[in-house]
């Protein structure tokens, strides 16, 4: 795709390797200013009739197909519950810092709606919460060694091919939890944080949506010291602390997003089983702060999909 875009741009402008020229010769601020000027001039050429036609064709700007009041009521109940569990709610900006997903994770920037002014449309609230936590830690906010817990509900927008099946849209609401702390040995952070987030997800699914059939899959992931020992320690801890069905899935598809372990929450919706939430360990705060002792555990619940399945 890059070669096609570069060749087409060079053909139209008569400037070979224009993409590379812009990338290497202009600073981020200069490129942002240039794009702002280009879009300003393009907006001057846009007429009302064309605007309406583009609106109809653009899947990213269409309203959500969920009941707004019902969603907001569920959001409020969810956030109040998580605050009682020491997960402090945060209302994030609609845009994230440019590179929030790509710089610390394995997400291709083409799956993100990139904006100007060094921003991108928020595509993963857990990245933004982790960035917020790292900034707080670096500025010395909070007690030393304190485990930081934050949550949010946010509408995400992702520029990617939608999976088959009813209910999937390019923008949707996800409820998120992010906890960060330091490694204290014996996988203490990993075990206790995973257990608490699974507990919260189970309670929310049962109390807010009346879902009775819920179980969890724990999957090993690469990129973590003593990953096999972590998996065994985590399964032992979960089986002794949580009274739910929890299975070890040793043959998951390749995934470099999580490090060490990932979990998936499976529910029964009619005749089908659906993965409605997932999470796991990530190395984002370790990368952001340059400290191998940093630990971060995230999770996300598909709130929009739940509303479609259980509030129709």
When the pLDDT of each residue in the chain is averaged and rounded to a whole number, the result is: 91
Sequence-separated (6 or more) residues with CB below 8 Å from residue 55: 61
- The pLDDT of residue 165 is 57
- The pLDDT of residue 214 is 97
Say if strands 171-182 and 294-302 run parallel, antiparallel, or are unpaired: antiparallel
Residue 278, CB-side half-sphere exposure with 13 Å CA sphere: 13
The band of 2, judged by pLDDT with boundaries at 50, 70 and 90, is: low
Residue 223, Ramachandran bin (φ over 0: left; ψ between -120 and 50: alpha; else beta): left
Over range 209-235, report the average pLDDT. Answer: 93
Q: Is pLDDT at 284 greater than 90 in this prediction?
A: yes
CA distance 173 to 155: 4
Give the residue among 155, 169, 89, 87 at the shortest CA–CA distance from 124: 155
Over range 104-118, report the average pLDDT. Answer: 89
- The pLDDT of residue 129 is 98
Query: Mapping DSSP to helix (H, G, I), strand (E, B) and coil, where does residue 30 land?
Result: helix
Q: Is pLDDT at 223 greater than 70 in this prediction?
A: yes
* DSSP string across 200-248: HHHHHHHHHH----EEEEEEE-SSSTTHHHHHHHHHHHHHHH--SEEEE
* High-pLDDT (> 90) share of the chain, %: 72
CA distance 250 to 264: 13
- The pLDDT of residue 143 is 67
* High-pLDDT (> 70) share of the chain, %: 95
CA distance 149 to 96: 19
CA distance 203 to 55: 40
The band of 251, judged by pLDDT with boundaries at 50, 70 and 90, is: confident
- Convert the pLDDT of each residue in 36-55 to its tens digit: 899 899 899 999 999 999 99
CB of 192 within 8 A of CB of 292? Answer: no
CB atoms within 10 A of CB 22: 15
- The pLDDT of residue 78 is 98
CB of 205 within 8 A of CB of 214? Answer: yes
- The pLDDT of residue 28 is 87
- The pLDDT of residue 133 is 97
Range ranked top by mean pLDDT from 138-147, 167-176, 237-246: 237-246
CB of 177 within 8 A of CB of 149? Answer: yes
What residues pair up with 171 in beta bridges, in sequence order? 157
Q: Is pLDDT at 311 greater than 80 in this prediction?
A: no
Q: What is the DSSP letter of 170?
A: S
Q: Is pLDDT at 248 greater than 80 in this prediction?
A: yes
Over range 214-241, report the average pLDDT. Answer: 94
């Amino acid at each position: 795709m890059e070669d096609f875009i570069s060749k087409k741009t060079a053909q139209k402008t008569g400037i070979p390797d224009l993409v590379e020229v812009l990338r290497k010769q202009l600073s981020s601020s200069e490129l942002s200013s240039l794009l702002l000027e280009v879009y300003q001039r393009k907006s001057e050429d846009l007429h009302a009739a064309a605007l309406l036609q583009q609106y109809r064709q653009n899947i990213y700007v269409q309203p959500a197909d969920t009941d707004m009041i019902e969603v907001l009521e569920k959001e409020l109940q969810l956030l109040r519950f998580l605050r009682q569990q020491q997960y402090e709610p945060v209302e994030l900006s609609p845009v994230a810092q440019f590179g929030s997903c790509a710089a610390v994770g394995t997400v291709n920037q083409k799956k993100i709606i990139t904006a100007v002014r060094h921003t991108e449309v928020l595509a993963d609230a857990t990245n933004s919460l982790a960035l917020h936590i790292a900034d707080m830690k670096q500025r010395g906010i909070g007690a030393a060694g304190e485990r930081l817990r934050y949550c949010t509900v946010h509408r995400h927008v992702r520029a990617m091919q939608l999976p088959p099946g009813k209910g999937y849209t390019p923008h949707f609401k996800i409820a998120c939890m992010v906890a960060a702390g330091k490694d204290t040995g014996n996988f203490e952070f990993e075990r206790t944080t995973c257990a608490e987030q699974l507990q919260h997800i189970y309670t929310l699914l049962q109390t807010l949506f009346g879902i009775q059939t819920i179980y969890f899959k724990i999957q090993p992931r690469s990129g973590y010291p003593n990953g096999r020992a972590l998996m065994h320690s985590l399964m032992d801890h979960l089986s002794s602390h949580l009274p739910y069905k929890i299975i070890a899935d040793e043959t998951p598809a390749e995934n470099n997003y999580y490090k060490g372990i990932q979990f998936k929450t499976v529910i029964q919706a009619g005749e089908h089983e659906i993965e409605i939430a997932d999470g796991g360990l990530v190395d984002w705060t370790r990368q952001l702060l340059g400290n191998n002792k940093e630990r971060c555990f995230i999770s996300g619940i598909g709130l929009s999909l739940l509303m479609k399945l259980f509030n129709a």
